[in-house]
Amino acid sequence: MAERSLAAFAGKTVLVTGGLGFMGFNLVQRLLHADVTLRVLGRSWPPILGNLESVLDGATFFHGDIRDEALVDDAVAGCDLIYHLAGKSGPAASNSSPLEDLDVNARGILTLLDACRRLSPKVKVVFPSSRLVYGANASQPTPETAPTAPLSIYGVHKWASEQYLLLYERLYGIRTTILRITNPYGPFQRPEQKSYGVVNWFIHQAMHNRALTVYGQGTQLRDYIHVDDVVDALLIAGAAKEADAGIFNVGSGRGVSFVQMAEVIVRAAGRGTIKHIPWPAEQAVVETGDFFADTSRIEKTLGWKAGVPFELGIQDVVAKYRRMESSGALGGAEMRL
């Protein structure tokens, strides 16, 4: 399915904002092998891995911030498809720095959409929203029709971003697809992006034989999804007309308890320990309770379904980092996740 989508991009100009972030870099790796004119906009340079600067060979790099209107104009003009992955992640962080979250996430996407309206009104924009737009304790599995009631500024801005996109579709004909992604994990997450995904952070800790900190009993269910599956969903969403104006959950559809996730990681790494501590206040307030996604809409509409089983997915990520570490590709004493 995803490979057919890549074929559909032939000859198109595709922009990935946040293309050096965790999800963006995984997507860029796939697009580099496609017959597209690839543009990458990102703040960070050198990219994820110091000695892998050559990975962007063949793409045009726009170095800077998503709030920089002139830079965004340059990157957007003439695009057929935009993956808007630039942004700041993390619900607890957003509650500590609400104005920064507003600026990066809300102003960022409005700046992009304004450029689309002026310069590329026929463009399609694919946007990764989040399960965090839903309220706590929604029915499980959670369908896209569940009430939105975010517990964080981050979640409010994800929901607002969805509304901006739908509004720009209605007002200016800019096509859009919104993917509400659950808990992604996989290679190419930076260590400083701890707040993004706890799974990657735990893999990082386990591989260094450190403690994996679990709040409380850790029995809350989560829906963990390998980034390869997410990238497939992004590619299909970008290519399929049936995805236009749609909001789709992207998750495994399976609930795995938090502590079980930690156990799988310790087992796969063959190192690390699990340590239970009481819930910190700033984490307790953003805790949603059990969550796993109802993914029947995207299965029926776009034919996408997660393919990587959780245990195998974790083993895959651990193996990838081992290879990178032993090949020296990580370019430093500290493994970069």
CB of residue 77 to a copy of itself, shortest distance in Å: 19
Cβ at position 298, least distance to a copy of itself in Å:
21
Phi first, then psi, for residue 47 (nearest 5°) are: -70, 180
- Residue 157 binds a copy of itself, judged by CB under 8 A: yes
Helix 22-31, helix 227-239: angle, nearest 10: 60
Segment interacting with a copy of itself (CB under 8 A) among 28-36, 107-115, 173-181, 242-250: 107-115
C-beta of residue 273 within 8 angstroms of C-beta of residue 205: no
Please check whether residue 21 is in contact with residue 88, taking contact to mean a CB–CB distance below 8 angstroms. Answer: no
98 touches a copy of itself (CB under 8 A)? yes
142, HSE (Cβ side, Cα atoms, 13 Å): 31
Over the window 277 to 306, marking each residue x when it contacts a copy of itself by CB under 8 A and - when it does not, the resulting string is --------x---------------------
184: three-class secondary structure by DSSP: strand
CB of 280 to a copy of itself, least distance (A): 13
**Nearest CA-CA partner of 183 in 209, 220, 147, 211:** 220
How many Cα atoms sit within 13 Å of 264 on the Cβ side?
19
Residue of 17, 152, 176, 182 interacting with a copy of itself (CB under 8 A): 152
- Taking CB under 8 A as the binding criterion, the range among 27-35, 81-89, 162-170, 193-201 that sits at the site for a copy of itself is 162-170
Structure tokens at 269: 């790494």
Residue (of 155, 144, 15) closest to 72 by Cα position: 15
Restricting to residues 131-150, name those near a copy of itself by CB under 8 A: 149-150
User: Residues touching a copy of itself: how many (CB under 8 A)?
Assistant: 25
**Binding mask of the shown chain, residues 57 to 96, with x at each position contacting a copy of itself by CB under 8 A:** --------------------------------------x-
HSE-CB at 247 with a 13 A cutoff on CA atoms is 21
- Give the interface with a copy of itself as residue ranges (CB under 8 A): 95, 98-99, 102, 106-107, 110-111, 113-114, 149-153, 156-157, 159-160, 163-164, 167, 170-171, 285
